[in-house]
Amino acid sequence: MRRFLWPTVALALIILYPLVFTTPFQQRLGALILLYAIAASAWNIVGGYAGQVSVGHVVFFGCGAYASMAAYSHFALPPMVGVPAGIAASVAIAAVIGVPTLRLSGHYFSMATIAVAELARLIVTNTEFLGAAVGLSGPTVPRTVFDLSFISALPYYYLFLTVLLITLGITWWMTNSRIGFYLRAIKDSERAARSLGAPASRVKLYAYMLSAGLTSVAGALYSMMFGFVDPESGLGILISVKMLIMAALGGAGLLFGPLVGAAILVPLEEISNNVLGGKGAGLTFVVYGAIIVIIARFQPGGILALINRLWAKHKPAEAPAAQGAPHAP
Amino acid sequence: MRLKHIAGLLSAAAMSVALAGGASAQQAVKIGVVFPLSGNAASAGVHGKAAIETAVEIINTGSGGLGNLPLTSNAGLKGLGGAKIEVVFADNQGSPAVGQNQALRLITEEKVVALAGAYQSGITLTASAIAEKYGIPFVNGESVAANLTERGFKWFFRVTPVASDFAKIYLEFLKDMKAGGIKTDNVAIVHENTEYGTSVASVITSVFKENGLSIALDIPYAANTTDVQSQVLQLKDKKPDVVIMVSYTSDAILYAKTMQALDYKPPMIIADNSGFSDPSFIKTAGKLTQGLFNRSSFAIGAKGTPTFLINEMYKKKSGGDDLDDTAARQMQGFFVLAEAIDRAGSTDPAKIQAALKATDLKPDQLIMGYKGVKFDDKGQNVLAAGLVIQLQDGENYVPVWPKQLAKTAPALPYKGW
C-alpha cells in the first residue's frame, strides 16, 4: 500500500492548491499547469513510452481547438459539443499520417510530423470555414454553464484536473497492458522486438492514435478557456515544442514526468514574463531558455528521474514501486 | 518610560506609513497596456511603448504648448486633483493566450483601472474578453479586425479607423480627383492573397460598388512570390486609370522594380499603407515610385505644430525613429482613455466607462487626422478618418488630401522613376 502513499499526498495537495492560493492569477496559473500537463502527458504516450518523437502533435491540439470553436461559431452550440468531433478527426488523421510516417525512424519521423503540422497550418489559414487567418472565437459571455466560459479559473482548475487524472489513468492502464510491454520493447530495440514477434507497426499506430485523441481534448479545453483560436495559437509549431520540452524536462516515459515538467515550466514562463516582460527587451526568453539549457545539461533524464534516483539512494527497497512506471533509459 | 516612547514612535511611524500609503494610492492612476514586446511583432510593440511613454510624460508634466490637446496644460489629471498616470506594461509575446493571462494579471494583481492594447487583432480579442468579464474599460487604438466591435461588448472602445473607413477615404479622394477633371472610372485592385489583402480588397470592392463605382480588374497574388511580371503585364494590357495596391513589404518592392523593368506607369497608384509605408520600402523603392499615393491618419506636420513637438519628444524615447501611423494611433487611443478618466473624475471603472461613452473630441483636440472621437453603441469611433499622402521629392510622404490637412496639392499623373 505504501506505493500509493505519495501519489495520494500529491493529489491531495493538488486538490487543495486553489483553496490555499486564492488570487485569480494564482488559480489561473494552477489551471494552466494542469492544461499543459494534459497536453504533455498525451504527447508522452507516443513520445515518451513509444520513443517516437513527434513534433507535429499540434495538429491534434488544433483539431480539438478548432472543432470546439467551430461548433460555437457555425452552429451556436456549446463548444464542448465539438470535443467528440475533434477527437474523431484527430484519431482519423493520426491513422492516415501514422501509417506512412511511423515506418520512418528517429529524426525522419520527427521531420515528417513537422511537415504535416505546417501543412495543416497553411490549409487552415486558407480555409474560410475555419476562420482563415483571422481565427474563430468562442462565446464571450456565457449563455449557459455548458459554454464553459467562466470568470474565475476555479472551475477550469477542477475540470482540467479531472481530465488530467483520466489521461494519466489511461496512460497507466496502457503501460501495464500488453501494448505497454510491446512499446517498451520497441523503444529499446525495434528490430529485436519485431524479431520476437511484437507487432511493432500496429502497436505504434495504436499509441499514436490514443495520444492524438487525448491531445485534441487538451486543445479543446485550451480554446474554451481562452475563447479563441487562430492558425498561430492553435497550430503553431511552438505548441508541439512546448509539449515535448515539458515531457522531456519532467521525465519522458514516466507517468508523472509531464506534470512535473509543466509544474516547473509554466510558472517559470508566466512569472518571468510578469517580472521581465514589461521591460520590453525579450529578457523573458533568455531566462526561460537558460534554465531549460541548465536542466538539459545536468539532468537530461528529466527532473523526475533525478528525484527517483535520489529517492532510490535514500530508500533502495521502495524505489521501483514509488515511481509507478519503468525508467526511461 | 522607555517602552512608552518606543510605542509612541512606533505608532507615529505606523501612521505615517499608513498616510503615505493612502496618499500614493490617491495619486497614481494605474493603466495597464498589453503590447507585443517580444516575438515577430516586437518592433510595433516597442514603438507603441515609446508612444505611450511619451503620452504619459506629456500628461504628467503638463508643460503646455500643444494647442487644444486635452490634458497637456496642467500636470497630471485635473479631474482627479492632479493625479499622475502610471502605466504598467505587459508583453503578450504574440500569443492570444499570453495576452489574456497578462490582461488578467494587470486587472487582478496590478489593479489597473483600465486597459489599452494589444496590437494584434487576435490578442486584442482575447485580452478584451477578460476585461469585459471583469468590467474594466479596454480602449484600443490600433487593431482593425472588423469582428472586434461586433461582439456586443460594453467595455470595449476602438478609436482607430477600420478597413471600411479606409475604403471610404479612397472613394472620397477619387471623387474629388474626378471633379478636378482626372479620369478615375477604370479601377484595378492588386492585392496579396492572405487575410490582410483579401479582406481589404473585398471591403474596398463592396464600398465602391455601393457607391456606383465598379472595380474593373481584380488581381490577387501570393505575397511571397518572386515574380510579378504576369500581373504587371496584365495591368499594362488593361490600362486602368487607377491601380489600388494592397501589399506587404517585399512584394511592394518587387512591384516597383518590375514596373520599372517593364516600363509601365499607370496614371495613378494608391497604396494601402503596410508595405508601402515600411521605411525599407521607401529606402529601396521610393525613388522608383514618385507620385505614389498612400493612406495614413497621421502627419508629423509643420515645425512648431503640436504633432511636430510630440514627434520630437517621441524621438527621444524611440531611439530616433519618427512617429509612424501605428504608434501614433496607439498614442491617440491612450489619450482618449486618459481624457475619459480625467472627465470621469474617478478611477471607478463604471464611471470611466460612462465617460468613454460620452466622449466627444473635436479634430483640434487630436493628434490624428480623425474628424473627431465619438463612440457608437458597439464602441467603434464613428468619426475615425484618414488622409491621403503622396511620395514626393525623393523619400518623403507629404499629406495632400483632404484640403484642410494638405501640405501641397496632389501631383498627377504618377511619375514613377
A164, A178, A327 from A263: Cα distances, Å: 13, 31, 20
The answer, yes or no, to whether residue A273 has pLDDT greater than 50, is yes
The dihedral through the CA atoms of B169, B170, B173, B174 has a sign that is: negative
User: CB burial class (10 A; 0-12, 13-18, 19+) of residue B180?
Assistant: exposed
Kindly state the average pLDDT of the residues B249-260. 91
Q: What is the spatial distance between Cα B300 and Cα B305, in angstroms, rounded to a whole number?
A: 8
Which pLDDT score is estimated for A327? 44
The verdict on whether omega for the bond into residue A84 sits within 30 degrees of 0, i.e. cis, is no
Average pLDDT taken over every residue of chain B? 87
| A258 band by pLDDT with thresholds 50, 70 and 90 | very high
Mutation to test the B interface, candidates A36, A121, A136, A137, most B Cβ within 10 Å: A137
Q: What is the spatial distance between Cα B385 and Cα B352, in angstroms, rounded to a whole number?
A: 25
Q: What is the spatial distance between Cα A207 and Cα B120, in angstroms, rounded to a whole number?
A: 38
CB B158 within 8 A of CB B373: no
| B6 band by pLDDT with thresholds 50, 70 and 90 | low
pLDDT tens, position by position, B172-198: 999 999 998 899 989 999 998 766 787
Measured in angstroms, the CA of B160 and the nearest CA of chain A are apart by 18
Given A133, A227, A277, which is nearest B90 (Cβ)? Answer: A277
pLDDT tens, position by position, A173-232: 998 999 888 988 888 888 888 888 888 889 999 999 999 999 999 999 999 999 899 888
Kindly state the average pLDDT of the residues A251-270. 90
pLDDT tens, position by position, B261-312: 999 999 999 998 878 877 778 888 989 999 999 988 887 877 888 999 999 9
Q: What is the spatial distance between Cα B265 and Cα B205, in angstroms, rounded to a whole number?
A: 23
Q: What is the spatial distance between Cα B69 and Cα B55, in angstroms, rounded to a whole number?
A: 11
User: Nearest 5 degrees, angle CA B184-CA B190-CA B194?
Assistant: 145
Which pLDDT score is estimated for A322? 40
Kindly state the average pLDDT of the residues B314-324. 87
| B4 band by pLDDT with thresholds 50, 70 and 90 | low
Cell numbers found for residue A271:
512569472
Cell numbers found for residue A176:
501495464
With a CB cutoff of 8 Å and minimum separation 6, the contacts of A322 are: A3, A6, A308, A311
Chain B CA closest to residue A286:
B38
The verdict on whether omega for the bond into residue B118 sits within 30 degrees of 0, i.e. cis, is yes
pLDDT tens, position by position, B363-379: 889 999 888 999 999 99
Which residues of B fall below an 8 Å CB-CB distance to A?
Answer: 35, 37-38, 42, 45-46, 49, 88-91, 93-98, 100-102, 104-105, 108-109, 121-122, 125-126, 129, 132-134, 145, 147, 151-153, 194-196, 199
CB B401 within 8 A of CB B410: yes
Mutation to test the A interface, candidates B34, B49, B92, B101, most A Cβ within 10 Å: B101
Point out the least confidently predicted range of A38-47, A55-64, A298-307.
A298-307
Given B37, B88, B121, which is nearest A280 (Cβ)? Answer: B37
Residue A141 with chain B: CB contacts under 8 Å: 132, 152
Kindly state the average pLDDT of the residues B34-59. 89
Are A125 and B195 a contacting pair at CB < 8 A? Answer: yes
| A318 band by pLDDT with thresholds 50, 70 and 90 | very low
Chain B CA closest to residue A284:
B38
Q: State what percent of residues in chain A have pLDDT above 90.
A: 45
| B17 band by pLDDT with thresholds 50, 70 and 90 | very low
| B223 band by pLDDT with thresholds 50, 70 and 90 | confident
Cell 499607370 found at: B266
Given A134, A274, A282, which is nearest B195 (Cβ)? Answer: A134
Residue A134 with chain B: CB contacts under 8 Å: 121-122, 145, 147, 195, 199
Cell numbers found for residue B202:
473585398
Residues 20 through 39 of chain A touching chain B, CB cutoff 8 Å? 23-25, 28, 32
With a CB cutoff of 8 Å and minimum separation 6, the contacts of B401 are: B173, B176, B387, B388, B410
Chain B CA closest to residue A282:
B38
Which of helix, strand or coil describes residue A76?
coil
